[in-house]
Chains A and B, each alone.
Chain A
Amino acid sequence: MTQEQNIELITVDALLDKVRAKREQGCRLVQVSATRLPDQVELTYSFDLDSRLANLRLSLPAAETRVPSISSIYGCAILYENEIHDLFNVQVDGLTVDFKGNFYKTAVKFPFGSVKAPGAKPAAPPASPVAACGAAPAATTESNK
Protein backbone atom coordinates (compact mmCIF):
# COMPACT_ATOMS: atom_id res chain seq x y z
CA MET A 1 0.00 0.00 0.00
CA THR A 2 1.24 3.46 -0.72
CA GLN A 3 0.66 6.43 1.51
CA GLU A 4 -0.92 9.32 -0.32
CA GLN A 5 1.38 12.14 -1.32
CA ASN A 6 0.10 15.53 -2.16
CA ILE A 7 2.57 18.29 -2.85
CA GLU A 8 1.50 21.86 -3.53
CA LEU A 9 3.99 24.17 -5.23
CA ILE A 10 4.08 27.68 -3.83
CA THR A 11 6.26 30.75 -4.04
CA VAL A 12 8.32 32.29 -1.27
CA ASP A 13 5.96 35.26 -0.93
CA ALA A 14 2.93 33.05 -0.41
CA LEU A 15 4.62 30.94 2.26
CA LEU A 16 3.53 32.78 5.39
CA ASP A 17 -0.09 33.10 4.27
CA LYS A 18 -0.36 29.44 3.36
CA VAL A 19 1.18 28.38 6.66
CA ARG A 20 -1.17 30.62 8.55
CA ALA A 21 -4.09 29.05 6.72
CA LYS A 22 -2.86 25.60 7.71
CA ARG A 23 -2.59 26.72 11.30
CA GLU A 24 -6.14 27.96 11.22
CA GLN A 25 -7.29 24.62 9.90
CA GLY A 26 -5.68 23.00 12.92
CA CYS A 27 -2.84 21.17 11.17
CA ARG A 28 0.18 19.90 13.04
CA LEU A 29 3.61 20.73 11.64
CA VAL A 30 5.28 17.44 10.77
CA GLN A 31 8.61 18.42 9.24
CA VAL A 32 10.53 20.94 7.20
CA SER A 33 13.09 19.39 4.91
CA ALA A 34 15.52 20.73 2.35
CA THR A 35 17.06 19.15 -0.71
CA ARG A 36 20.01 20.57 -2.56
CA LEU A 37 19.66 20.11 -6.31
CA PRO A 38 22.27 21.24 -8.84
CA ASP A 39 20.79 24.71 -9.37
CA GLN A 40 18.27 25.22 -6.58
CA VAL A 41 17.28 24.34 -3.06
CA GLU A 42 13.85 22.78 -2.54
CA LEU A 43 12.11 23.21 0.78
CA THR A 44 9.23 20.97 1.75
CA TYR A 45 6.89 21.85 4.61
CA SER A 46 4.68 18.96 5.70
CA PHE A 47 1.48 19.31 7.68
CA ASP A 48 -0.78 16.66 9.14
CA LEU A 49 -4.54 16.88 9.68
CA ASP A 50 -6.25 13.72 10.97
CA SER A 51 -3.42 11.52 9.70
CA ARG A 52 -3.55 12.99 6.20
CA LEU A 53 -0.32 14.59 5.03
CA ALA A 54 -0.27 17.79 2.99
CA ASN A 55 3.02 19.23 1.71
CA LEU A 56 3.99 22.71 0.55
CA ARG A 57 6.99 22.94 -1.73
CA LEU A 58 9.22 25.96 -2.36
CA SER A 59 12.06 26.24 -4.80
CA LEU A 60 14.80 28.69 -4.03
CA PRO A 61 17.43 29.58 -6.62
CA ALA A 62 20.91 28.57 -5.53
CA ALA A 63 22.21 32.12 -5.69
CA GLU A 64 19.66 33.59 -3.30
CA THR A 65 18.54 31.16 -0.60
CA ARG A 66 16.49 33.29 1.74
CA VAL A 67 13.22 32.32 3.29
CA PRO A 68 11.04 33.89 6.00
CA SER A 69 10.72 31.97 9.20
CA ILE A 70 7.45 30.34 10.17
CA SER A 71 8.42 30.21 13.83
CA SER A 72 6.05 33.05 14.62
CA ILE A 73 3.19 30.80 13.50
CA TYR A 74 4.51 27.40 14.57
CA GLY A 75 6.94 27.80 17.46
CA CYS A 76 8.36 24.33 17.07
CA ALA A 77 9.72 25.20 13.62
CA ILE A 78 12.85 26.74 15.16
CA LEU A 79 14.57 23.37 15.34
CA TYR A 80 13.93 22.57 11.69
CA GLU A 81 14.91 26.02 10.49
CA ASN A 82 18.13 26.11 12.48
CA GLU A 83 18.96 22.74 11.03
CA ILE A 84 18.41 23.78 7.41
CA HIS A 85 20.51 26.86 8.07
CA ASP A 86 23.36 24.85 9.53
CA LEU A 87 23.39 22.11 6.95
CA PHE A 88 22.26 23.82 3.76
CA ASN A 89 23.29 27.45 4.22
CA VAL A 90 19.72 28.72 3.78
CA GLN A 91 19.22 32.15 5.32
CA VAL A 92 16.10 32.17 7.47
CA ASP A 93 14.82 35.61 8.43
CA GLY A 94 13.01 36.27 11.65
CA LEU A 95 13.77 33.20 13.74
CA THR A 96 12.37 33.52 17.25
CA VAL A 97 15.24 31.43 18.66
CA ASP A 98 18.37 31.72 16.55
CA PHE A 99 21.38 29.53 17.22
CA LYS A 100 23.34 31.54 14.65
CA GLY A 101 24.99 28.56 13.03
CA ASN A 102 25.88 26.66 16.20
CA PHE A 103 23.03 24.18 16.28
CA TYR A 104 25.01 21.28 14.86
CA LYS A 105 28.72 20.98 15.45
CA THR A 106 30.14 19.72 12.18
CA ALA A 107 33.73 19.57 11.02
CA VAL A 108 32.74 21.12 7.71
CA LYS A 109 30.47 24.14 7.80
CA PHE A 110 27.35 23.76 5.66
CA PRO A 111 27.93 20.15 4.64
CA PHE A 112 25.13 20.22 2.08
CA GLY A 113 25.91 23.76 1.04
CA SER A 114 27.22 24.79 -2.31
CA VAL A 115 30.20 23.09 -3.89
CA LYS A 116 32.57 25.82 -2.72
CA ALA A 117 31.67 25.49 0.99
CA PRO A 118 34.55 26.58 3.25
CA GLY A 119 36.17 23.68 5.07
CA ALA A 120 37.12 25.55 8.24
CA LYS A 121 35.78 24.68 11.69
CA PRO A 122 33.26 27.26 13.00
CA ALA A 123 35.73 29.52 14.78
CA ALA A 124 33.68 32.68 15.32
CA PRO A 125 32.70 33.30 18.96
CA PRO A 126 29.06 32.32 19.37
CA ALA A 127 26.66 35.19 19.86
CA SER A 128 23.90 33.25 21.61
CA PRO A 129 24.31 32.31 25.29
CA VAL A 130 23.51 28.68 24.47
CA ALA A 131 26.71 27.91 22.68
CA ALA A 132 28.73 29.99 25.13
CA CYS A 133 27.95 27.45 27.81
CA GLY A 134 27.60 24.42 25.62
CA ALA A 135 30.82 24.61 23.59
CA ALA A 136 32.09 21.20 24.64
CA PRO A 137 34.73 19.67 22.39
CA ALA A 138 32.57 17.93 19.85
CA ALA A 139 34.67 16.35 17.15
CA THR A 140 31.96 14.82 15.03
CA THR A 141 33.19 13.97 11.60
CA GLU A 142 31.21 12.54 8.76
CA SER A 143 31.85 8.88 8.26
CA ASN A 144 33.64 8.28 5.00
CA LYS A 145 32.42 4.80 4.12
Chain B
Amino acid sequence: MARTVIPFGPQHPVLPEPVHLDLVVEDEKVVEARPSIGFIHRGLEKLAEKKDYIEFVYVAERICGICSFIHGQTYCQAVETLMNVQVPPRALYLRTVWGELSRLHSHLLWLGLMADGMGFESLFMHSWRVREKVLNIVEATTGGRVIFGSCKVGGVRRDMDAETIRNLPQELDEIEREMREITKVFLDERSAKARLCGVGVLSKQEAHDLGCVGPTLRGSGVAQDMRQLGYAAFGDIQIEPVTRPEGDCYARCAVRCEELFQSVKIIRQALARIPDGEIAVKVTGNPAGETITRTEQPRGEVVYHLKANGSKNLQRFRVRTPTFANLPAMLKMLPGCDLADVPMIVLTIDPCISCTER
Protein backbone atom coordinates (compact mmCIF):
# COMPACT_ATOMS: atom_id res chain seq x y z
CA MET B 1 0.00 0.00 0.00
CA ALA B 2 1.42 3.36 -0.93
CA ARG B 3 2.48 5.69 1.83
CA THR B 4 1.96 9.44 1.82
CA VAL B 5 3.58 11.95 4.12
CA ILE B 6 1.19 14.61 5.33
CA PRO B 7 2.66 17.56 7.22
CA PHE B 8 0.62 18.61 10.24
CA GLY B 9 1.49 22.02 11.55
CA PRO B 10 3.21 24.21 12.51
CA GLN B 11 0.18 26.30 11.60
CA HIS B 12 -3.04 24.36 11.89
CA PRO B 13 -6.52 25.42 13.00
CA VAL B 14 -6.62 23.07 15.98
CA LEU B 15 -3.17 23.82 17.29
CA PRO B 16 -2.90 26.55 19.90
CA GLU B 17 0.86 26.66 19.46
CA PRO B 18 3.20 25.61 16.65
CA VAL B 19 4.38 22.04 16.55
CA HIS B 20 5.20 20.10 13.43
CA LEU B 21 4.39 16.45 12.83
CA ASP B 22 5.11 14.52 9.67
CA LEU B 23 2.37 11.93 9.49
CA VAL B 24 3.11 8.93 7.36
CA VAL B 25 -0.28 7.59 6.32
CA GLU B 26 -1.44 4.53 4.47
CA ASP B 27 -4.90 5.19 3.13
CA GLU B 28 -6.15 7.31 6.09
CA LYS B 29 -4.50 5.29 8.83
CA VAL B 30 -1.49 6.91 10.42
CA VAL B 31 1.47 4.59 10.43
CA GLU B 32 4.21 6.78 11.85
CA ALA B 33 4.54 10.25 13.30
CA ARG B 34 7.79 12.15 13.20
CA PRO B 35 7.90 15.25 15.40
CA SER B 36 9.79 18.43 14.75
CA ILE B 37 9.71 21.05 17.47
CA GLY B 38 11.75 24.17 18.07
CA PHE B 39 9.61 26.82 16.41
CA ILE B 40 9.17 28.81 19.54
CA HIS B 41 12.46 28.26 21.33
CA ARG B 42 13.27 31.59 22.95
CA GLY B 43 16.31 30.61 25.00
CA LEU B 44 14.75 31.65 28.29
CA GLU B 45 17.04 29.40 30.28
CA LYS B 46 20.04 31.32 29.06
CA LEU B 47 18.39 34.59 30.06
CA ALA B 48 19.01 33.65 33.68
CA GLU B 49 22.61 34.66 33.16
CA LYS B 50 21.58 38.21 32.35
CA LYS B 51 18.73 39.07 34.69
CA ASP B 52 19.05 39.04 38.43
CA TYR B 53 16.99 36.60 40.41
CA ILE B 54 14.40 39.10 41.62
CA GLU B 55 13.59 40.39 38.14
CA PHE B 56 13.62 36.90 36.75
CA VAL B 57 10.16 36.24 38.17
CA TYR B 58 8.77 38.31 35.30
CA VAL B 59 10.55 36.09 32.79
CA ALA B 60 9.45 32.90 34.53
CA GLU B 61 5.83 34.03 34.37
CA ARG B 62 6.10 34.64 30.68
CA ILE B 63 7.33 31.16 29.76
CA CYS B 64 3.72 30.37 28.96
CA GLY B 65 0.56 32.39 28.74
CA ILE B 66 -1.86 29.73 29.88
CA CYS B 67 -0.04 28.29 32.86
CA SER B 68 1.72 31.52 33.72
CA PHE B 69 0.83 31.99 37.37
CA ILE B 70 2.03 28.59 38.52
CA HIS B 71 5.34 29.07 36.70
CA GLY B 72 5.84 32.27 38.69
CA GLN B 73 4.74 30.60 41.90
CA THR B 74 7.08 27.63 41.44
CA TYR B 75 9.99 29.93 40.68
CA CYS B 76 9.34 31.95 43.81
CA GLN B 77 8.98 28.78 45.84
CA ALA B 78 12.28 27.42 44.54
CA VAL B 79 14.18 30.65 45.28
CA GLU B 80 12.57 30.83 48.71
CA THR B 81 13.76 27.30 49.42
CA LEU B 82 17.28 28.24 48.37
CA MET B 83 17.32 31.30 50.57
CA ASN B 84 15.43 29.76 53.47
CA VAL B 85 12.70 32.39 53.42
CA GLN B 86 9.53 31.77 55.42
CA VAL B 87 6.60 33.04 53.42
CA PRO B 88 3.73 34.31 55.58
CA PRO B 89 0.67 31.99 55.64
CA ARG B 90 -1.66 34.59 54.14
CA ALA B 91 0.56 34.79 51.07
CA LEU B 92 0.51 31.00 50.77
CA TYR B 93 -3.27 30.94 50.81
CA LEU B 94 -3.51 33.77 48.29
CA ARG B 95 -1.11 31.91 46.01
CA THR B 96 -3.28 28.81 46.31
CA VAL B 97 -6.43 30.72 45.41
CA TRP B 98 -4.82 32.30 42.38
CA GLY B 99 -3.23 29.01 41.38
CA GLU B 100 -6.59 27.28 41.38
CA LEU B 101 -8.20 30.14 39.46
CA SER B 102 -5.41 29.69 36.95
CA ARG B 103 -6.22 25.99 36.74
CA LEU B 104 -9.91 26.81 36.16
CA HIS B 105 -9.11 29.16 33.31
CA SER B 106 -6.66 26.72 31.76
CA HIS B 107 -9.04 23.77 31.81
CA LEU B 108 -11.89 25.89 30.44
CA LEU B 109 -9.58 27.03 27.66
CA TRP B 110 -8.68 23.45 26.90
CA LEU B 111 -12.34 22.38 26.85
CA GLY B 112 -12.98 25.12 24.34
CA LEU B 113 -10.08 24.01 22.16
CA MET B 114 -11.23 20.40 22.33
CA ALA B 115 -14.70 21.40 21.22
CA ASP B 116 -13.20 23.45 18.43
CA GLY B 117 -11.06 20.47 17.42
CA MET B 118 -14.21 18.36 17.24
CA GLY B 119 -15.88 21.00 15.11
CA PHE B 120 -18.32 21.91 17.88
CA GLU B 121 -17.95 25.70 17.56
CA SER B 122 -20.85 26.74 19.77
CA LEU B 123 -19.58 24.67 22.70
CA PHE B 124 -16.15 26.24 22.21
CA MET B 125 -17.73 29.69 22.51
CA HIS B 126 -19.68 28.72 25.61
CA SER B 127 -16.60 27.36 27.37
CA TRP B 128 -14.73 30.56 26.69
CA ARG B 129 -17.72 32.62 27.78
CA VAL B 130 -17.53 30.98 31.22
CA ARG B 131 -13.77 31.48 31.15
CA GLU B 132 -14.35 35.22 30.77
CA LYS B 133 -16.05 35.24 34.15
CA VAL B 134 -13.00 33.61 35.73
CA LEU B 135 -10.71 36.11 34.00
CA ASN B 136 -12.79 39.00 35.30
CA ILE B 137 -12.28 37.76 38.85
CA VAL B 138 -8.58 37.43 38.21
CA GLU B 139 -8.33 40.90 36.69
CA ALA B 140 -10.13 42.46 39.62
CA THR B 141 -7.90 40.76 42.19
CA THR B 142 -4.49 40.77 40.52
CA GLY B 143 -4.64 43.40 37.81
CA GLY B 144 -3.87 41.21 34.82
CA ARG B 145 -5.99 38.75 32.86
CA VAL B 146 -3.42 36.36 31.55
CA ILE B 147 -0.14 37.30 33.20
CA PHE B 148 -1.11 37.85 36.82
CA GLY B 149 2.11 39.50 37.97
CA SER B 150 1.29 38.96 41.60
CA CYS B 151 3.98 36.58 42.82
CA LYS B 152 7.29 37.82 44.09
CA VAL B 153 10.13 36.24 45.99
CA GLY B 154 9.02 36.44 49.59
CA GLY B 155 5.27 36.52 49.12
CA VAL B 156 2.70 38.18 46.91
CA ARG B 157 2.42 41.75 45.72
CA ARG B 158 -1.26 42.41 46.19
CA ASP B 159 -3.74 41.59 48.87
CA MET B 160 -7.42 40.69 48.64
CA ASP B 161 -9.59 42.79 50.91
CA ALA B 162 -12.26 41.30 53.14
CA GLU B 163 -15.13 42.36 50.92
CA THR B 164 -13.68 40.59 47.89
CA ILE B 165 -13.16 37.45 49.91
CA ARG B 166 -16.77 37.62 51.07
CA ASN B 167 -18.21 38.09 47.58
CA LEU B 168 -16.06 35.61 45.75
CA PRO B 169 -17.98 32.45 46.77
CA GLN B 170 -21.16 33.86 45.21
CA GLU B 171 -19.43 34.49 41.92
CA LEU B 172 -18.01 30.98 42.12
CA ASP B 173 -21.56 29.61 42.56
CA GLU B 174 -22.57 31.12 39.28
CA ILE B 175 -19.45 29.88 37.50
CA GLU B 176 -19.94 26.41 38.92
CA ARG B 177 -23.53 26.27 37.71
CA GLU B 178 -22.50 27.20 34.19
CA MET B 179 -19.62 24.74 34.22
CA ARG B 180 -22.06 21.96 35.08
CA GLU B 181 -24.12 22.79 32.00
CA ILE B 182 -21.08 22.70 29.75
CA THR B 183 -19.42 19.59 31.15
CA LYS B 184 -22.72 17.76 30.82
CA VAL B 185 -22.56 18.39 27.09
CA PHE B 186 -18.97 17.20 26.87
CA LEU B 187 -19.57 14.02 28.76
CA ASP B 188 -23.08 13.04 27.66
CA GLU B 189 -23.57 14.39 24.18
CA ARG B 190 -23.63 11.59 21.63
CA SER B 191 -21.47 13.28 19.02
CA ALA B 192 -18.81 14.30 21.52
CA LYS B 193 -18.64 10.77 22.89
CA ALA B 194 -18.37 9.34 19.39
CA ARG B 195 -15.24 11.39 18.80
CA LEU B 196 -13.63 10.81 22.16
CA CYS B 197 -14.37 7.30 23.31
CA GLY B 198 -11.84 4.68 22.35
CA VAL B 199 -9.45 7.15 20.75
CA GLY B 200 -5.83 7.25 21.85
CA VAL B 201 -5.86 4.53 24.47
CA LEU B 202 -2.97 4.44 26.93
CA SER B 203 -2.82 1.60 29.38
CA LYS B 204 -1.75 2.20 32.96
CA GLN B 205 1.64 0.56 32.47
CA GLU B 206 2.32 2.45 29.25
CA ALA B 207 1.41 5.77 30.80
CA HIS B 208 3.79 5.13 33.65
CA ASP B 209 6.66 3.94 31.45
CA LEU B 210 6.37 6.81 29.02
CA GLY B 211 6.76 9.26 31.88
CA CYS B 212 3.38 10.94 31.52
CA VAL B 213 2.21 13.45 34.04
CA GLY B 214 -0.97 15.25 34.99
CA PRO B 215 -4.38 14.41 33.55
CA THR B 216 -2.71 12.23 30.91
CA LEU B 217 -1.43 10.00 33.72
CA ARG B 218 -4.54 10.27 35.85
CA GLY B 219 -6.79 9.44 32.91
CA SER B 220 -5.08 6.07 32.75
CA GLY B 221 -5.68 5.22 36.37
CA VAL B 222 -2.50 6.31 38.15
CA ALA B 223 -3.42 8.43 41.17
CA GLN B 224 -0.60 10.92 41.39
CA ASP B 225 -1.00 14.65 41.90
CA MET B 226 1.86 16.92 42.93
CA ARG B 227 -0.47 18.94 45.10
CA GLN B 228 -0.27 16.06 47.54
CA LEU B 229 3.30 17.14 48.27
CA GLY B 230 1.85 19.87 50.42
CA TYR B 231 3.30 23.07 49.00
CA ALA B 232 1.58 26.45 49.49
CA ALA B 233 -1.68 25.92 51.37
CA PHE B 234 -1.98 22.28 50.32
CA GLY B 235 -0.49 21.24 53.63
CA ASP B 236 -3.85 22.11 55.17
CA ILE B 237 -6.13 21.26 52.28
CA GLN B 238 -6.25 17.60 51.35
CA ILE B 239 -6.32 16.62 47.70
CA GLU B 240 -7.77 13.42 46.33
CA PRO B 241 -6.41 12.91 42.78
CA VAL B 242 -9.15 12.53 40.19
CA THR B 243 -8.60 9.39 38.14
CA ARG B 244 -10.34 7.40 35.44
CA PRO B 245 -9.42 3.85 34.46
CA GLU B 246 -10.18 3.83 30.73
CA GLY B 247 -7.16 5.70 29.42
CA ASP B 248 -8.74 7.11 26.26
CA CYS B 249 -9.45 10.71 25.23
CA TYR B 250 -12.85 10.59 26.93
CA ALA B 251 -11.25 9.62 30.22
CA ARG B 252 -8.78 12.52 30.03
CA CYS B 253 -11.58 14.93 29.18
CA ALA B 254 -13.60 13.62 32.12
CA VAL B 255 -10.61 14.01 34.47
CA ARG B 256 -10.23 17.65 33.47
CA CYS B 257 -13.96 18.30 33.83
CA GLU B 258 -13.91 16.79 37.31
CA GLU B 259 -10.82 18.82 38.24
CA LEU B 260 -12.77 22.00 37.46
CA PHE B 261 -15.14 21.25 40.30
CA GLN B 262 -12.31 20.12 42.54
CA SER B 263 -10.60 23.49 42.00
CA VAL B 264 -13.76 25.40 42.90
CA LYS B 265 -14.00 23.40 46.11
CA ILE B 266 -10.36 24.14 46.93
CA ILE B 267 -10.85 27.86 46.34
CA ARG B 268 -13.85 27.89 48.65
CA GLN B 269 -11.91 26.06 51.36
CA ALA B 270 -8.93 28.35 51.03
CA LEU B 271 -11.08 31.49 51.18
CA ALA B 272 -12.86 30.22 54.26
CA ARG B 273 -9.63 29.52 56.10
CA ILE B 274 -7.42 32.35 54.93
CA PRO B 275 -5.47 33.72 57.91
CA ASP B 276 -4.75 37.37 58.55
CA GLY B 277 -1.30 38.78 58.45
CA GLU B 278 1.34 40.14 56.14
CA ILE B 279 1.55 39.28 52.51
CA ALA B 280 5.30 39.38 51.98
CA VAL B 281 8.62 39.38 53.77
CA LYS B 282 11.63 41.37 52.73
CA VAL B 283 14.31 39.36 50.98
CA THR B 284 17.93 40.44 51.02
CA GLY B 285 21.12 38.77 49.94
CA ASN B 286 21.76 36.32 47.17
CA PRO B 287 20.75 32.69 46.78
CA ALA B 288 23.24 29.85 47.05
CA GLY B 289 22.79 26.13 46.70
CA GLU B 290 20.67 23.86 44.62
CA THR B 291 17.07 22.78 44.70
CA ILE B 292 14.59 20.75 42.70
CA THR B 293 10.99 21.86 43.24
CA ARG B 294 7.86 20.29 41.83
CA THR B 295 4.34 21.67 41.61
CA GLU B 296 1.18 20.74 39.79
CA GLN B 297 0.33 22.83 36.79
CA PRO B 298 -2.94 22.36 34.94
CA ARG B 299 -1.09 20.11 32.51
CA GLY B 300 0.83 18.08 35.02
CA GLU B 301 3.95 18.11 37.10
CA VAL B 302 6.46 20.89 36.50
CA VAL B 303 10.01 20.53 37.81
CA TYR B 304 12.19 23.56 38.50
CA HIS B 305 15.88 22.82 38.97
CA LEU B 306 17.70 25.90 40.24
CA LYS B 307 21.36 26.22 41.03
CA ALA B 308 22.88 29.35 42.51
CA ASN B 309 26.35 30.25 43.64
CA GLY B 310 25.94 33.37 45.71
CA SER B 311 25.84 35.90 42.90
CA LYS B 312 22.90 37.97 41.78
CA ASN B 313 22.22 35.79 38.75
CA LEU B 314 21.24 32.17 38.98
CA GLN B 315 23.86 29.77 37.73
CA ARG B 316 21.34 27.41 36.19
CA PHE B 317 17.62 27.69 35.67
CA ARG B 318 16.07 24.58 34.29
CA VAL B 319 12.37 23.95 33.79
CA ARG B 320 10.95 20.61 32.83
CA THR B 321 7.41 21.36 31.81
CA PRO B 322 4.58 18.82 31.75
CA THR B 323 4.04 18.90 28.00
CA PHE B 324 7.65 17.89 27.49
CA ALA B 325 6.95 14.78 29.53
CA ASN B 326 3.70 14.07 27.72
CA LEU B 327 5.10 14.33 24.19
CA PRO B 328 6.32 10.70 24.09
CA ALA B 329 2.78 9.63 24.97
CA MET B 330 1.42 11.60 22.04
CA LEU B 331 3.97 10.00 19.73
CA LYS B 332 2.96 6.58 21.03
CA MET B 333 -0.77 7.16 20.54
CA LEU B 334 -0.57 8.43 16.98
CA PRO B 335 0.47 5.29 15.03
CA GLY B 336 -2.58 3.21 14.29
CA CYS B 337 -5.18 5.96 14.49
CA ASP B 338 -7.30 7.44 11.73
CA LEU B 339 -6.25 10.70 10.14
CA ALA B 340 -9.37 12.37 11.50
CA ASP B 341 -8.40 11.42 15.06
CA VAL B 342 -5.06 13.19 14.90
CA PRO B 343 -6.40 16.54 16.22
CA MET B 344 -8.08 14.76 19.13
CA ILE B 345 -4.91 12.95 20.08
CA VAL B 346 -2.71 16.02 19.77
CA LEU B 347 -5.11 18.08 21.89
CA THR B 348 -5.73 15.44 24.49
CA ILE B 349 -2.32 15.85 26.11
CA ASP B 350 -3.07 19.59 26.32
CA PRO B 351 -0.01 20.68 24.38
CA CYS B 352 1.57 23.87 25.59
CA ILE B 353 4.45 24.07 23.19
CA SER B 354 5.72 27.43 24.37
CA CYS B 355 6.32 25.81 27.78
CA THR B 356 8.04 22.87 26.12
CA GLU B 357 10.61 24.90 24.30
CA ARG B 358 11.29 27.74 26.59
Q: Considering the complex, which residues of chain A in the window 125-141 have a beta carbon less than 8 Å from any beta carbon of chain B?
A: 129-131, 133-134, 136, 138, 140-141
Contact of B231 among A3, A74, A106, A141 (CB under 8 A): A3
Report chain B residues within 8 Å CB of A66. Answer: none
Closest to B81 in A: A2
Q: A44-B305, A104-B41 are in contact. Are A133 and B7 (CB under 8 A)?
A: yes
Residue of B22, B231, B292 touching A130 (CB-CB under 8 A) = B22
> Given A28-B211, A30-B211, A51-B228, A145 and B291 touching (CB < 8 A)?
no
Residue of B at shortest CB range from A130? B34
Known contacts A29-B211, A31-B303, A142-B46; is-contact A134 B40 (Cβ 8 Å): no
**Does chain A have a CB within 8 A of B248?**
no
CB-nearest residue of chain B to A112: B46
What 5 pairs between A and B have smallest CB-CB spacing?
A134-B36, A142-B43, A31-B320, A76-B328, A76-B211
CB pair B210 A143 closer than 8 Å: no
Are A104 and B320 CB-contacts (below 8 A) given A1-B235, A5-B292?
no
Check if B357 is an interface residue, CB within 8 A of chain A: yes
CA distance A131 to B315 in the complex (A): 32
Classify the interface of chain A: helix, strand, loop or mixed.
Answer: loop
A72 contacts the other chain (Cβ, under 8 Å)?
Answer: no
Q: Is A68 an interface residue (CB 8 A)?
A: no
Is the C-beta of B327 less than 8 angstroms from some C-beta in chain A?
yes
Q: How far is the CA of A90 from the CA of B4 in the complex (A)?
A: 35
| Complex Cα gap A144–B303 (Å) | 25
Q: Are A1's CB and B328's CB within 8 A?
A: no
Contact surface of B with A, Cβ cutoff 8 Å? 5, 7, 10, 20, 22, 34-47, 50, 81, 208-211, 224, 226, 228-231, 235, 290-294, 301, 303, 305, 307, 315-316, 318, 320, 324-325, 327-328, 357
Q: What would 21 A/B residue contacts be, using CB atoms closer than 8 Å?
A: A1-B235, A2-B291, A3-B293, A5-B292, A28-B209, A30-B325, A31-B325, A35-B315, A35-B316, A53-B292, A75-B328, A76-B209, A104-B38, A104-B357, A130-B34, A133-B34, A134-B34, A136-B39, A138-B38, A140-B40, A142-B47
Residues from chain A with Cβ under 8 Å of B22 in the complex: 129-130, 133-134
Chain B proximity mask over A4-18: 1 for CB below 8 Å, otherwise 0: 010000000000000
Residues of A within 8 A of B229 (CB): 3, 51
Q: Which of A101-122 contact B (CB under 8 A)?
A: 102-106, 111-112
B39 x A31 contact (CB < 8 A): no
Contacts of A30 in B (CB 8 A): 211, 294, 301, 303, 320, 325
Chain A residues within 8 Å of B, Cβ to Cβ: 1-3, 5, 26, 28-31, 33, 35-37, 44, 46, 51, 53, 55, 74-76, 78-79, 102-106, 111-112, 129-131, 133-134, 136, 138, 140-145
CA distance A140 to B353 in the complex (A): 14
For B302, the closest partner residue in chain A by CB is: A31
Contacts of A35 in B (CB 8 A): 307, 315-316, 318
B228 nearest in chain A by CB position: A51
A138 to B40, CA, bound (A): 8
Known: A33-B318, A35-B307, A133-B5. Contact between A106 and B209, CB under 8 A?
no
Taking CB atoms, residues of chain A closer than 8 Å to B303 are 30-31, 46
**Beta-carbon contact of B42 and A140 below 8 Å:** yes
The closest CB in chain B to the CB of A133 belongs to: B22
What's the nearest-Cβ distance from chain B to residue A143, in Å? 6
B312 to chain A, nearest CB (A): 16
CB distance from B206 to the nearest CB of A (A): 10
Which residues from A are CB-within-8-Å of B292?
Answer: 3, 5, 44, 46, 53, 55
Smallest Cβ distance from A75 to chain B, in angstroms? Answer: 7
- Measured between beta carbons, the chain B residues less than 8 angstroms from A5 are 290-292
Given the interface contacts A104-B357, A134-B36, does A79 sit within 8 Å of B316 by beta carbon? no
A111 and B34 contact, CB distance less than 8 A: no
> Which A residues are in CB contact (< 8 Å) with B327?
79
B211–A105 touching, CB < 8 Å: no
B34 with A140: CB separation less than 8 A: no
Taken together as a complex, chains A and B put the C-alpha atoms of A76 and B209 apart, in Å, by: 8
Task: Report how far A43 CA is from B229 CA in the complex, Å.
Answer: 25
Q: Are B328 and A79 in contact (CB under 8 A)?
A: yes
CB atoms of B224 and A51 under 8 A apart? yes
Please indicate the chain A residues that have their CB under 8 angstroms from the CB of B43 in the complex: 106, 111, 140-143
- Complex Cα spacing A14 to B138, Å: 50
CB-defined contacts of B34 to chain A, threshold 8 Å = 129-130, 133-134
